[in-house]
């Protein structure tokens, strides 16, 4: 089950986050409310899913692996947004 979940995260972090939200209470334990997870799914999917998994894996404390996951997720989100900006700029360049 863990390998299937990891493959789902790698393929689509947004779908993985929605799956986590629907079948478990991890999102409710990691976040207070629904607004921040929804905004995270829309704008920072990697950071949101790695924060949720890191929070649950560390037992709700600031463990080094959880912090590393958040930083890695933030870099992946920045790279994803930068790549889309670069591709859009190259597409409309004359």
Separation between Cα atoms, residue 67 and residue 51, nearest integer Å = 8
* Mean pLDDT, the chain, integer: 87
Say whether 34 sits in a helix, a strand or coil: coil
Confidence of residue 77 (pLDDT cuts 50, 70, 90): very high
Separation between Cα atoms, residue 41 and residue 50, nearest integer Å = 11
| Contacts of residue 69, Cβ cutoff 8 Å, sequence gap at least 6 | 50, 51, 53, 54
pLDDT tens digits for range 11-55: 899 999 999 999 999 999 999 899 999 999 999 999 999 999 888
DSSP state of 1: -
Separation between Cα atoms, residue 26 and residue 18, nearest integer Å = 11
The verdict on pTM exceeding 0.85 is no
């Amino acid at each position: 089950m863990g390998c299937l979940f990891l493959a789902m995260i790698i393929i689509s972090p947004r779908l993985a986050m929605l799956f986590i939200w629907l079948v478990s209470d991890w999102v409710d334990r990691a976040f207070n409310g629904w607004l921040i997870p929804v905004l995270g799914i829309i704008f920072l999917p990697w950071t949101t899913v790695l924060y949720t998994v890191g929070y649950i894996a560390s037992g709700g404390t600031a463990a080094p692996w959880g912090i590393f996951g958040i930083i890695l997720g933030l870099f992946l989100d920045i790279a994803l947004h930068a790549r889309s900006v670069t591709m859009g700029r190259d597409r409309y360049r004359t």
